[in-house]
Amino acid sequence: MELNTLWFILIAVLFTGFFFLEGFDYGVGILLPFIAKDDRSRRMVINTIGTFWDGNEVWLLTAGGAMFAAFPNWYATMFSGFYLALLLMLLALIVRGVAFEFRSKDNNPTWRKTWDWMLFIGSFIPALLWGVALANIIRGVPIDQNMNYVGGFFNLLNPYALTGGLASLFLFLLHGAIFLNLKTEDELREKAKQFAEKLWLPTLIFMLLFVIGGYFATDMFTRLGINPGVIPIFAGLSLISVIFLMKRNLSGWAFIMTGLTIVFSTITIFMGLYPRVLVSSINPAYSLTIDNASSTPYTLKIMSIVALIFVPIVLGYQAWTYWVFRKRVGSTTHLEY
């Protein structure tokens, strides 16, 4: 396989992994103020993701680094172009990251409440913006012949992109609620189940609207054809199955299914994108592709070797963490955060 394609796939894998993993901890962060009212249960909610969130976030940093290394023009055009959106995302991630560490380090109720809301905002904004970003990438944005984005901030907030934002927001919320249901006990567990069941229908609706919007706003359907293949269909089927699994208290399976929805949806978007990495709405010839945005074959080769050695190692020890901390967070669990 050509290395440019390999790196397109690797970056897609990194984003897919990132959405799968960080998706549930965004969801948990957003649900926090609503699902848990007293301090002890809030701390339990935060501690379900306490061990994992930082490791999950590195998936994004690695994806960003991989974009820079493999497709510098993609990195340069997208992050200079989506400037204010990225700024919002970065500020959100900053307050979110310190909120985990700082929240329970002072007993003042106002202090704690403030950080809880920081966790909420810091999770809400990225959960929404990722959908907005992906929708814009696939829909096409004004990119000129010099690979510069010339559209400004509000151009990104079109109806299709906002639908994408709501779809990702709700999908992550659902994913997070089911994760909480898996990782807590008693009352919290029950509440998480109720939230998941309530969230399922709006998630399905927004995902559906996103797909329908895609028919009008993007060239996904003309490119993939009316029979898009198994992957998008799997994305839909796995999302539909969630409600039945939850009703039968099979939350482990339900979690896998929302995870698969995220995985298959992300793959679908990247499939629709390939071989482009950023679509120009001004002229298809101005689109950034895996060829005109890429690094040299030499750099790609070096990076491929590094990735082939270290990605499996990282996957191995991250999986081990999830295994070590597989137990539910209950009333007797020692809480760190």
Binder to another protein among 110, 225, 227, 298 (CB under 8 A)? 298
Query: Which stretch in 75-83, 164-172, 185-193, 256-264 sits in contact with another protein by CB under 8 A?
Result: 75-83
98 lines the binding site for another protein (CB under 8 A): yes
Q: Does 271 bind another protein (CB under 8 A)?
A: no
**Footprint on residues 43-62 left by another protein (CB under 8 A):** 43, 47, 50-52, 54-55, 57-58, 61-62
Report CA dihedral (267, 160, 122, 264) to the nearest 10 degrees: -20
Integer angstrom CA distances of residue 124 from 5, 80, 227, 245, 331: 33, 23, 34, 26, 27
Query: Does the footprint of another protein cover residue 157 (CB under 8 A)?
Result: no
Which pair of structure tokens corresponds to residue 296? 């040299």
Residue from 2, 101, 186, 190 in contact with another protein (CB under 8 A): 101
Which pair of structure tokens corresponds to residue 99? 């909120």
We find the least distance from the C-beta atom of residue 292 to another protein, in angstroms, to be 11
Which lies closer to another protein via its Cβ, residue 8 or residue 200? 8
Q: Among residues 4, 77, 203, 251, which is the contact residue for another protein, using CB under 8 A? A: 77
Rounded CA-CA distance 49/40 in Å is 15
Handedness of CA 26, 29, 33, 38 (dihedral sign): positive
DSSP 288: E
Does residue 299 belong to the site contacting another protein (CB under 8 A)?
yes
Judged by CB under 8 A, the residue of 17, 27, 29, 81 near another protein is 81
Site for another protein (CB under 8 A): which residue of 18, 26, 75, 170?
75
- Closest to another protein by CB, 50 vs 213, is 50
Q: Which is nearer to another protein, 218 or 295 (CB)?
A: 295
Report the candidate in 268, 271, 123, 139 with the shortest Cα–Cα distance to residue 216: 139
Among 72, 202, 228, 236, binds another protein (CB under 8 A): 72
- Residue where the block lists tokens 């290395």: 3
Token couple for 6: 């390999």
Among 34, 105, 190, 201, binds another protein (CB under 8 A): 105
Choose, by CB under 8 A, the member of 9, 33, 79, 274 that binds another protein: 79
Of positions 144, 182, 185, 231, contacts another protein by CB under 8 A: 144
b/e map of 137-153 (b: 16 or more CB within 10 Å)?
bbbbbbbeeebebebee
Q: Which is nearer to another protein, 196 or 303 (CB)?
A: 303
Q: H helices of the chain, where?
A: 3-35, 39-50, 53-70, 72-81, 83-102, 109-139, 159-183, 186-217, 220-224, 230-247, 251-273, 297-324
Contact indicator for 24, 309 with CB cutoff of 8 Å: no
Is residue 107 part of the contact set for another protein (CB under 8 A)?
yes
Residue 336 Cβ vs another protein, minimum distance, rounded to whole Å: 5
Among 108, 110, 222, 296, contact with another protein (rule: CB under 8 A): 296
Residue 104 or 203 having the CB closest to another protein: 104
